[in-house]
Chains A and B, each alone.
Chain A
Amino acid sequence: MGRQRLLSMLAVIAVAIGCGSGTPQDAQATGPDERAGEPIVIAQATGGDSAPEGGASVTGSVRFEGTPPERERIRMSADPVCEQKHQSAVYKENVVVNDNGTLRNVFVYVKEGVQGSHPAPSEPVVLDQSGCGYTPHVFGVRVNQPLEIRNSDATLHNVNAKPSGNRPFNLAQPVLGMKTTKTFTEPEIMVPFKCNVHPWMSAYAGVVAHPFFGVTGEDGAFTISGLPAGDYVLEAWHEEYGTKTQPVSVPASGSASVEFAFSAN
């Protein structure tokens, strides 16, 4: 009898499950970052926080010389979920020249001269996929600092990172609200990110072992603070126009100024 009772129970359970209609798919959402109707905007990524070790800072801007090239429009119609999030045309961000003639999305960091070790903070840097674009487009992250990659779109993005020194990864985030955390163990300038489902998506991460870096924004300017006095070499990196370096001497307090210029060659 025991065996048959068990069978009956199984039957009841199976029928009960089967007869019920499935509930709608629930997303592991933590509030999607909806930015309907805006073109993709780059947030100004600041240098990593650290206990101010020095009192000086380096400020400057990156100029663009020549006629700014025309920006390429993105075919958002490839994915209706992407298309719905934008009211107006969306353009690629590989070359963005600001109204004041400066260049956006230039990663500026101290290449030589940093002394001592600077352990990474535990707060993550967030790379968001929203409106089928990466936000921010160019950013800095410290060695061993967590990088939290979020999908704020209700569509598949695969986060395809192709560093040369660090370990590459390619992982899918099919569900809205999914988060994955990764860390880089080696400094690297720069780690490219792309999505294969939306081929126009790209981002770049500058992995540095110290907090002395910045990214130019809408005003083309950058500020690197907390530097102790000394001689340094700064490098500015742009995804199309390559790198430029400049030496700078930083006083004990106050600031030094550096200007970079890229041209369309």
Chain B
Amino acid sequence: MTALQFALGAAVWLIGQTAAWAFGGSGAKIWLPEGSSSVAPEIDRLFYIVLIITGVVFVLVQGTLIAFLILYRRRPGRKATYIHGSHLVEIIWTVIPAVILVFLTVTSQRVWAVIHGTPPTIDLELEVTAEQFAWNIRYPGPDGKLGSEDDLTTINQMHLPLGKVVMIRLISKDVIHSFFVPQFRVKRDAVPGITSRLWVQATRPGTSDIACAELCGLGHYRMRGFLTVETPEEFQAWLAKTAEEFE
């Protein structure tokens, strides 16, 4: 078997593996998880715009490369064309990408402004204090105010009421951590010395993971939080029950 034959065989095997992935051989798709926050559709839309543009560019450019390698391979009697450049062509392939990039910049900025701009009216405020290696999540108590005596703190258990706008105050006790909820498309670093404010609005009930997305030591991989999105009534009931248990 020549190196080329081996390479071809291995390529076929790899393509097979990729096909197995693509058609969900394991039962679960490995791709964007289903979005469950109000901002997820915006981010996903932007993602797909970039994907389509870069995908088309990829096919065109790689295709051109391969075509040139075939068309202009050395053959007896072929002589190369002696040319140093072309101003016109340089202008064309500068302007077209520039236009695409301007479009992408403007589109991205719109979504950025939604994420970081003035949030819609806040329904609930929570405080998340990250430490090595747990998430301490503080809820306002019966008085409805965060920062008062009757606040309730859980470790790694975050409950959110469906459809409500929640402002999260993100703090860190020791090193940088990062609050990441893939289904929300939300990520924000918890930086010591800074209180970061981010807002989320859950749009689907269910459970999902919170992951720490900034290396924080040997337990970094275990900073898993458990996020539950439930109806506002269920949320209040859970708050009351938990407060009672930890009185």
Contact = CB atoms under 8 A, between A and B. Distances in A.
A168 B150 CA distance: 38
A166 B154 CA distance: 34
Interface stretch (A11-19, A56-64, A184-192): A11-19
B108 interface: no
Contact of B154 (A77, A158, A197): A77
Contact of A196 (B13, B132, B157, B226): B132
A158 B133 CA distance: 10
B157 A4 contact: no
Interface stretch (B3-11, B74-82, B91-99, B182-190): B3-11
B134 interface: yes
Contacts of A4: 1-3
Contacts of A77: 154-157, 226
B219 interface: yes
B18 interface: no
A11 B1 contact: yes
Interface in B117-139: 131-134
Contacts of B132: 196
Per DSSP, chain B at the interface is: mixed
Given A7-B6, A11-B1, A78-B155, A197 B13 contact: no
Nearest to B16: A19
A15 B10 contact: yes
B246 interface: yes
A156 interface: yes
B13 A18 contact: yes
Contact of A197 (B10, B133, B157): B133
A141 to B, nearest CB: 24
A29 interface: no
Residue of B3, B6, B154 with most partner-chain A CB within 10 A:
B6
Given A15-B10, A156-B219, A8 B155 contact: no
B6 A8 contact: yes
A264 interface: no
A84 to B, nearest CB: 13
A87 B169 CA distance: 34
A86 interface: no
B148 interface: no
A245 to B, nearest CB: 37
Contacts of A155: 222
Contacts of B2: 4
B217 to A, nearest CB: 8
B71 interface: no
Interface string A138-164: 000000000000000001101000000
B59 interface: no
B58 to A, nearest CB: 26
Shortest 4 CB-CB contacts between residues of A and residues of B: A78-B155, A78-B156, A8-B1, A11-B6
Interface of A: 4, 7-8, 11, 14-15, 18-19, 73, 75, 77-80, 89, 155-156, 158, 170, 172, 196-199
20 contacts: A4-B2, A8-B6, A11-B1, A11-B10, A19-B13, A75-B154, A77-B156, A77-B226, A78-B154, A78-B155, A78-B156, A79-B156, A155-B222, A156-B221, A158-B218, A158-B219, A172-B218, A196-B133, A198-B134, A199-B134
